[in-house]
């Protein structure tokens, strides 16, 4: 068995033995990890300045001006989603969730836990939401106060038409909450053009930080009216925001090391050239990956025009010699960690394009995949009937 190519360069760049070809947590740079090698007092002036810098920059990345504010919250992305829904939705509000994957489903589940009225407009995981039905629902159900949509549904890797969705929601005078978790920083989204009440994301996806913090970029005029909505003290983004406004500090113990790493990650993001550059690098990763996999005989779930440059879903090959668990273990042993599928429509697996990955890394991953498929004696192309 050969070792994976460029293992030493990989370690120098990332400090890792393995590349994570996953949707996050993902491969971060060595320098992002090194930013965590000190402790911070949460009342430290430098730490307070670091927080203010991150909050300002996140608003800028979303294209927001002084009419938006960034409210971070401890925890993973789901904590930020739950906090945003709970803070923005009045107790007697009604949520319409556009569902075409697990993350849309999760927002329905959150609404149920919170005891908020919610309905789903669902479609298959390889389809984008039906905009005509969205129009009809908003026209006919006056009780709906908010719509929640996922920008890139990581379940499949599909890119939802967020701008068209926003235009319809605005036209009907409702509030839009966007789960942009796996898109933020890599797929352009400007709140000046895509009108919404909030955009939610986390530290450990396309901005390439470490996990432990989520955040919402919220329209200030909306947030001002949200006092008393939240069902949870820890997840009350209104109270969290008032805390920051009062003394620039977190209400409860901040994830100090996560923030220090995130500050470095955001600086590296800017150095690379912001959203355009990151989109360019990830898009090239995706093109390289998809072309190489197709050449071997693998098939993508999605047509190229629906595929975001974040994560790609592949059909499991029909050959019974293809054992996913063995395939996964062999790739991981050679330095490439892929991701299982999460679809209900078809047996699949996923390969991510995001994190500290370049075109060469995708080519190296393809070489290892080819070697592994050969070693397993798998015949590809069975799905295509070739």
Question: Using CB under 6 A as the criterion, which residues of the chain lie in contact with ligand PLP when the complex forms?
Answer: 23-24, 76-78, 81, 103, 150, 154, 179, 181-182, 202
Strands of 339-340's sheet in order across: 311-315, 348-352, 339-340
Least Cα distance to 106 among 79, 124, 133 occurs for: 79
Kindly report the CA angle at 129 between 317 and 98, in degrees rounded to 5?
105
> Which CA distances in Å does 179 have to 104, 149, 354, 370?
9, 6, 17, 35
CA distance 72 to 75: 10
Instruction: Considering the complex, state which of residue 181 and residue 194 has its C-beta at the smaller distance from ligand PLP.
Output: 181
Q: Are 251 and 243 in contact (CB under 8 A)?
A: yes
**Minimum distance from residue 235 beta carbon to ligand PLP (Å):** 13
Instruction: Considering the complex, state which of residue 49 and residue 124 has its C-beta at the smaller distance from ligand PLP.
Output: 124
Residue 24: DSSP 8-state: S
**Minimum distance from residue 124 beta carbon to ligand PLP (Å):** 17
**Minimum distance from residue 166 beta carbon to ligand PLP (Å):** 17
**Minimum distance from residue 181 beta carbon to ligand PLP (Å):** 3
Instruction: Considering the complex, state which of residue 26 and residue 380 has its C-beta at the smaller distance from ligand PLP.
Output: 26
CA distance 293 to 296: 5
Q: Are 211 and 36 in contact (CB under 8 A)?
A: no
Instruction: Considering the complex, state which of residue 204 and residue 372 has its C-beta at the smaller distance from ligand PLP.
Output: 204
CA distance 272 to 77: 24
Instruction: Considering the complex, state which of residue 62 and residue 81 has its C-beta at the smaller distance from ligand PLP.
Output: 81
**Minimum distance from residue 81 beta carbon to ligand PLP (Å):** 6
Name the residue with the smallest CB distance to ligand PLP: 77
**Minimum distance from residue 41 beta carbon to ligand PLP (Å):** 27
CA distance 261 to 211: 10
Instruction: Considering the complex, state which of residue 64 and residue 77 has its C-beta at the smaller distance from ligand PLP.
Output: 77
């Amino acid at each position: 068995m050969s070792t994976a190519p460029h293992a030493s360069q990989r370690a120098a760049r990332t400090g890792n033995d393995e590349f994570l070809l996953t949707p996050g947590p993902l491969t971060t740079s060595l320098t992002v990890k090194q930013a965590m090698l000190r402790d911070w007092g949460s009342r430290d002036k430098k730490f307070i300045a670091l927080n203010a810098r991150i909050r300002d920059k996140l608003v800028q990345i979303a294209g927001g001006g002084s009419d938006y504010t960034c409210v971070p919250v401890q925890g993973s992305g789901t904590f930020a989603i739950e906090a945003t829904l709970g803070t923005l939705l009045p107790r007697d509000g009604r949520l319409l969730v556009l569902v075409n994957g697990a993350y849309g489903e999760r927002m329905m589940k959150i609404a149920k836990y919170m005891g908020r009225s919610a309905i789903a407009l669902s479609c298959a995981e390889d389809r984008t939401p039906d905009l005509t039905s969205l129009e009809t629902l908003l026209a006919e159900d006056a009780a709906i106060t908010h719509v929640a949509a996922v920008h890139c549904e990581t379940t499949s890797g599909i890119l939802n038409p967020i701008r068209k969705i926003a235009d319809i929601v605005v036209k009907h005078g409702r509030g839009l909450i966007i789960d942009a978790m796996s898109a933020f920083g890599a797929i352009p989204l400007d709140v000046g053009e895509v009108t919404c009440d909030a955009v939610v994301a986390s530290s450990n996806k396309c901005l390439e930080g470490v996990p432990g913090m989520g955040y919402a970029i919220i329209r200030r005029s909306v947030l001002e009216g949200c006092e008393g909505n939240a069902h949870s003290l820890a997840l009350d983004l209104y109270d969290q925001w008032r805390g920051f406004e009062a003394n620039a500090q977190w209400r409860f113990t901040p994830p100090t090391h996560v923030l220090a790493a995130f500050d470095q990650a955001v600086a590296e993001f800017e150095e690379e050239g912001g959203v355009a550059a990151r989109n360019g690098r990830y898009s090239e990763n995706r093109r390289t990956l998809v072309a190489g996999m197709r050449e071997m005989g693998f098939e993508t779930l999605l047509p190229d025009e629906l595929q975001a440059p974040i994560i790609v879903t592949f059909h499991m090959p029909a050959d019974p010699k293809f054992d996913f668990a063995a395939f996964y273990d062999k790739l991981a042993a050679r330095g490439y960690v892929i991701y299982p599928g999460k679809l209900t429509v078809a047996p699949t697996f996923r390969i991510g394009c995001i994190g500290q990955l370049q075109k060469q890394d995708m080519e190296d991953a393809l070489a290892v995949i080819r070697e592994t498929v050969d070693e397993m004696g798998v015949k590809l192309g069975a799905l295509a009937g070739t």
